[in-house]
Structure 1
Amino acid sequence: MPKKKIEKIVIGSNNKGKIKEIRDLIPKKYRIFTPSQFKLKSPVENGKSFKENSLIKAKKFSLKTNMVCIADDSGLEIDLLNKKPGIYSARWGGPKGDFNLAIKKVFKALDKKKKNWKEKKISARFICALTIFGLKKKPIFSVGKIEGYISNEQRGLKGFGYDPIFIPKGKRKTFGEMDPKKKYKIDHRYKAFKKIRKFL
């Protein structure tokens, strides 16, 4: 079956940080659009997994724009917090998606669980589920993960979301301190994209 020729892709997100990172991953031959250009709001993410939520977004934005859509759902799992915030990572930031607030909530939850957590290595991981919708008859899925630890303080102003408190395994800097180009080559989103870029 010949490959469907596409020239335009919509990134299924209204999160500026995600849009920038996904845009940098997609081959330059495509014209890239975002939901805000069509005045489209993000759908209610009521899935029970990262995969389900990424499909909800990819399907909605693909059908609304009549374009191929690539959408991501990602979040931070902290083992000491029973893998929370997980799929609710963005919601911990409240209605305005304030990640300073979300990070404060993480630290507060860790304090409740273990008073001396700052002296321990608190294992965590970032997970990203990507979905391409509208390219083939069935959606294309992939998942990427990166293991690491929680920093005992916010460090760095680069990146977005929980980046200032996540230290990838084998590194000393948080994602928030890393050069974005270096971060892009090792993070969960890149790992997920690597598995599906052959379709683009």
Structure 2
Amino acid sequence: MTLKLIKGMRLVAATHNPGKAREIEALLDGDYRIVTAGALNLPEPDETETTFVGNAMLKARHAAQLSGEVSLADDSGVSVAALDGAPGIFSARWAGPSKDFALAMKKVEDRLDEIGSSDRRAWFTSALAVAWPDGPCVVVEGVVHGELTFPPRGDRGFGYDPIFIPEGQALTYGELDPAVKEADSHRTRAFMKLKAALID
């Protein structure tokens, strides 16, 4: 079996986050028909793995098995050096059931204040997995380093973007033009690896 993504095919994006789905579509240059797990009413699986790679594979396989179609999953989050890598794989869970990322960003700030750390180093990780209904799964990972800033700045992007300044930039992901962010984000770096493995 040749593991390739054929342009024009439909891909299930294993997400209920419309912002993430739009980024995925843009990163694939509009060459694929993207339908989300949310649009297909697929339930979200429990993320029981301990790494971004493990959770991406779990979500992709779950969506592929339930939909019967090739599925792509992203597991991503922000890790803070002074918090021993937290929130990490729990980034979405820090936002609570209502996905309130203002709350999550405040929690990061409060934790740093509690331990009295001025270390603002952080990194975003994106693990991408593509799973076929009959079993095979390909996974890659991209990372961008930077530092945190408070209070949050900018209303672009989503998640923790307003507190993260990537290396080489003065603006947060929440302030940067989306085209600038997408030129070299953690997800873009992962997609470049994915394209090399499955498309080019």
* TM-score range normalised by the length of the shorter chain: over 0.9
Deviates more, 1:133-142 or 1:157-166: 133-142
Q: 1:107 to 1:65 in 2, by over 3 A?
A: same
1:146 to 144, 147, 150: 144
Structure 1 gaps of 5+ residues are none
Q: Give the structure-1-normalised TM-score.
A: 0.92
> TM-score normalised to the size of structure 2?
0.92
Return the alpha-carbon distance in structure 2 between the equivalents of residues 103 and 196 of structure 1.
30
CA offset digits 1:128-167 (Å, max 9, x no partner): 1000101885311100000000012200000000000000
**Alignment partner of 2:123 out of 125, 145, 160:** 125
1:78: which partner in 2? Answer: 80
Q: Distance in 2 between matches of 1:83 and 1:64?
A: 32
In the TM superposition, what is the alpha-carbon distance from 1:54 to its structure 2 partner?
Answer: 0.5
Deviations 1:22-65 (A, max 9, x none): 11112433221111221112111111100111111100111111
Paired position in structure 2 for 1:161: 159
- Can you list the C-alpha shifts for 1:9-33, whole angstroms capped at 9, x where unaligned? 1111111221111111124332211
**Identity value in percent:** 39
What are the within-5 Å matches in structure 2 for residues 9-158 of structure 1?
9-114=11-116, 117=118, 122-134=120-132, 138-158=136-156
Q: Would you say how many aligned residue pairs link Structure 1 and Structure 2?
A: 196
Q: Secondary structure at the match of 2:58?
A: helix
Separation in structure 1 between the aligned mates of residue 4 and residue 159 of structure 2, nearest angstrom: 35
TM-fit CA distance, 1:5: 6.8
Checking the alignment, whether the CA contact within 8 Å between 1:73 and 1:130 is kept in structure 2 is: yes
CA contact (8 A) 2:80 2:121 kept: yes
Query: Matches of 1:153 and 1:71 in 2, distance apart?
Result: 31
Q: CA deviation at 1:4?
A: 5.5
**1:3 Cα deviation from its structure 2 partner:** 5.7
Of 4-13 and 68-77, more deviation after overlay is shown by 4-13
Distance 2:5 2:75 in 1: 26
- In structure 2, C-alpha distance between the alignment counterparts of 1:175 and 1:53, rounded to whole Å: 24
Q: Does the Cα contact within 8 Å between 1:132 and 1:141 map onto a contact in 2?
A: yes
Aligned counterpart, 1:192: 190
Which stretch of structure 1 is more off in the superposition, 25-34 or 41-50?
25-34
Match of 1:174 in 2: 172
CA RMSD of aligned residues (A): 1.7
SS in structure 1 opposite 2:139?
strand
Cα distance in structure 2, aligned partners of 1:193 and 1:53:
17
Structure 2: which 5+ runs fail to align?
A: none
The answer on whether the counterparts of 1:4 and 1:135 sit within 8 Å (CA) in structure 2 is no
SS of 1:33's equivalent in the other structure is: strand
